[in-house]
Amino acid sequence: MNKDFLWGVSTAAGQIEGSVLEDGRGLSIWDAFCRIPGSIRNNDTTDVACSSYKLWKEDVKLLKDLGVNSYRYSISWSRVLPDGKGKVNQAGLDYYKRLTDTLLNEGIAPNITLYHWDLPYALHKLGGWLNRDVADWFADYAELIFKEIPDAYMFSTHNEPIATYVGYARGVFAPGFAVEQYGRQANHNLLLSHGKAVERFRASNSKAKIGIVIDVWNRVPLCPENEDDVRYAKEQNALAHGNYLSPIFSGKYNDIYLSYLEKNNIKLQAEEKDFELISAPLDFFGLNCYNRIVVSASGANVRQTLTQNGGNFLQNGQEYYPDAIYDTVKIIRKDFNVNLPIYITENGVGFQNEQEVDGIVSDDERIKYLTASFNSIKRLTDEGEDVRGYYLWSLLDNFEWTAGYSTKYGIHTIDRKPKKSALFYKEHIKNNG
Ligand code: IFM
Per-residue pLDDT of the chain (433 residues; tens, 9 = 90+): 899 999 999 999 999 999 999 999 999 999 999 999 999 999 999 999 999 999 999 999 999 999 999 999 999 999 999 999 999 999 999 999 999 999 999 999 999 999 999 999 999 999 999 999 999 999 999 999 999 999 999 999 999 999 999 999 999 999 999 999 999 999 999 999 999 999 999 999 999 999 999 999 999 999 999 999 999 999 999 999 999 999 999 999 999 999 999 999 999 999 999 999 999 999 999 999 999 999 999 999 999 999 999 999 999 999 999 999 999 999 999 999 999 999 999 999 999 989 999 999 999 999 999 999 999 999 999 999 999 999 999 999 999 999 999 999 999 999 999 999 999 999 999 999 8
| Full DSSP string of 357-419 | ETTEE--HHHHHHHHHHHHHHHHHHHTT--EEEEEEE-SS----GGGTTSSB--SB-TT-PBP
Mutate to test the pocket of ligand 1, among 166, 352, 409 (most ligand atoms within 8 A of CB): 409
Q: Kindly give the distance from the C-alpha atom of residue 42 to the centroid of ligand 1, in angstroms, as a whole number.
A: 19
288 CB near ligand 1 (under 6 Å): yes
For ligand 1, what atom is nearest to the CA of residue 215?
6
69 CB near ligand 1 (under 6 Å): no
Contact 361, 396 (CB under 8 A): no
Contact 393, 410 (CB under 8 A): no
Determine the pLDDT at residue 342: 98
Q: Kindly give the distance from the C-alpha atom of residue 66 to the centroid of ligand 1, in angstroms, as a whole number.
A: 21
Residues in contact with 384: Cβ distance below 8 Å, sequence separation at least 6, in sequence order: none
SS3 316: coil
Q: CA-to-CA distance for 227 and 116, rounded, in angstroms?
A: 37
Q: CA-to-CA distance for 367 and 390, rounded, in angstroms?
A: 15
Give helix 90-105 / helix 52-66 axis angle, nearest 10°: 10
For ligand 1, what atom is nearest to the CA of residue 288?
6
What amino acid positions are annotated as catalytic residues? 160, 346
397 CB near ligand 1 (under 6 Å): no
Q: DSSP code of 197? A: H
Q: Which amino acid, 228?
A: D
Q: CA-to-CA distance for 241 and 173, rounded, in angstroms?
A: 18
Q: Kindly give the distance from the C-alpha atom of residue 74 to the centroid of ligand 1, in angstroms, as a whole number.
A: 12
For ligand 1, what atom is nearest to the CA of residue 346?
6
- Using CB atoms within 10 A of its CB, is residue 3 exposed (0-12), middle (13-18) or buried (19+)? exposed
SS3 356: strand
- Which residue's CA is the closest to the ligand 1 atom numbered 2? 400
- Which residue's CA is the closest to the ligand 1 atom numbered 1? 400
274 CB near ligand 1 (under 6 Å): no
Q: Terminal CA-to-CA distance of the chain, rounded, Å?
A: 6
409 CB near ligand 1 (under 6 Å): yes
156 CB near ligand 1 (under 6 Å): no
Q: CA-to-CA distance for 188 and 270, rounded, in angstroms?
A: 7
Determine the pLDDT at residue 83: 98
Determine the pLDDT at residue 172: 97
Instruction: Give me the residues paired with residue 154 across strands.
Output: 111, 209
SS3 6: strand
pTM across the whole model: 0.98
Q: CA-to-CA distance for 206 and 393, rounded, in angstroms?
A: 27
Contact 141, 114 (CB under 8 A): yes
393 CB near ligand 1 (under 6 Å): yes
346 CB near ligand 1 (under 6 Å): yes
Q: Kindly give the distance from the C-alpha atom of residue 290 to the centroid of ligand 1, in angstroms, as a whole number.
A: 9
SS3 105: helix
Residues in contact with 5: Cβ distance below 8 Å, sequence separation at least 6, in sequence order: 381, 388, 389, 390, 432, 433
Length of the chain equals: 433
